[in-house]
Amino acid sequence: MTDRKISETTGTAQKDQTPARRPGRPRSAKKGADKRELLLDAALKLFAQYGIAETPLSQIAKEAGVTTAMLHYYFNTREQLLDVMIDERFQPVRAGFTDIFETHADDPLMAITHMAQCMIDAAEKYPWVAPLWVREVISESGMLKKRMEERNGDKNRKVVHESITRWQAEGRLNPDLNPALLFISLFGLTLFPMASMKMRKEGGSLISPDMLRQHVSLLLFNGLGPQKR
């Protein structure tokens, strides 16, 4: 075999052994990584403003200042983009909620209050969390929740539901509370006000996350009745 044929054969073998590019992960260096992060940031911003189902990929490309072809180089479809966002943006936020009900297995009030505080913390740290989740909750499509459950199951929701029903059976929690509505109520107490924080005022000043934390804790621990002295 000639040197040329050996070279061609080796080159072919090397090409065959080259791993396929993972979705959303180009082989380029820092410049490519920066563009990829820019696209994720732009998508999060627009998803929070308009909803996931209502945001076309072309609009994301325009927001990021790249061509639609460039966006498709990183993410072929909206579903692929959403999967990457779930893995890299949503899951790290969700990780802070995972063990709350197991950590406070014998203290329902502490578990529920801690969950509410974590929601406020996440919304303060990541500005897109509150408006995006609020929009997804009221959206008919609800693509984010559906996609996350398709990929990761609904284990966390089941843990919460089972914990609440167990506490009710043990007499630790009001037996008349609806477990599903209780979790929605936490959203209403935390993410809804955080999503509209800039529009809400009290005494001429903006309501702060710290004010909301204190309010939610007092409401959950003491209810609406006057405190007993």
Say whether both 121 and 215 belong to one domain.
Answer: yes
14: pLDDT strictly greater than 50: no
- The answer to whether residue 135 sits within a structural domain is yes
Check residue 5 and give its pLDDT: 42
Say whether both 64 and 147 belong to one domain.
Answer: no
The CATH number of residue 57's host domain is 1.10.10.60
Say whether both 120 and 45 belong to one domain.
Answer: no
Percent of the chain whose predicted confidence (pLDDT) is above 70? 80
**pLDDT tens column, 97-148:** 878 988 999 999 999 999 999 999 999 999 899 999 888 877 766 788 888 8
Say whether both 89 and 68 belong to one domain.
Answer: no
- The answer to whether residue 194 sits within a structural domain is yes
- The answer to whether residue 172 sits within a structural domain is yes
Check residue 228 and give its pLDDT: 61
Say whether both 139 and 190 belong to one domain.
Answer: yes
| Structural domain span for residue 191 | 82-222
Say whether both 176 and 123 belong to one domain.
Answer: yes
Count other C-beta atoms under 10 Å from residue 83's C-beta: 18
Which residue, of 41, 76, 111, is where some domain finishes?
Answer: 76
198: pLDDT strictly greater than 50: yes
**pLDDT tens column, 52-105:** 888 999 999 999 999 999 999 999 888 899 999 999 998 888 887 878 988 999
10: pLDDT strictly greater than 60: no
DSSP 51-84: -STT--HHHHHHHHTS-HHHHHHH-SSHHHHHHH
The CATH number of residue 150's host domain is 1.10.357.10
Say whether both 72 and 86 belong to one domain.
Answer: no
Average pLDDT across the chain, whole number: 81
Nearest Cα neighbor of 46 from 58, 33, 32, 31 is 58
Say whether both 109 and 45 belong to one domain.
Answer: no
Residue whose structure tokens are 């999503």? 195
**pLDDT tens column, 151-160:** 777 777 788 8
Query: What pTM was computed for the model?
Result: 0.76
- The answer to whether residue 8 sits within a structural domain is no
| Number of independent structural domains in the chain | 2
**pLDDT tens column, 125-134:** 998 999 998 8
Give the C-alpha separation, 61 to 70, whole Å: 8
Check residue 31 and give its pLDDT: 61
Say whether both 117 and 184 belong to one domain.
Answer: yes
Say whether both 156 and 71 belong to one domain.
Answer: no
Q: Compute the average pLDDT of residues 181-187.
A: 87
Give the C-alpha separation, 187 to 105, whole Å: 21
- Banded pLDDT at 229 (limits 50, 70, 90): low
Say whether both 210 and 144 belong to one domain.
Answer: yes
Which residue, of 76, 103, 138, is where some domain finishes?
Answer: 76
Check residue 23 and give its pLDDT: 56
Give the C-alpha separation, 2 to 5, whole Å: 5
Check residue 22 and give its pLDDT: 52
- The answer to whether residue 191 sits within a structural domain is yes
- The answer to whether residue 61 sits within a structural domain is yes
Look at 136-140, 192-196, 209-213 and tell me which has the smallest mean pLDDT. 136-140
Say whether both 158 and 187 belong to one domain.
Answer: yes
Check residue 137 and give its pLDDT: 75
- The answer to whether residue 14 sits within a structural domain is no
- The answer to whether residue 19 sits within a structural domain is no
1: pLDDT strictly greater than 60: no
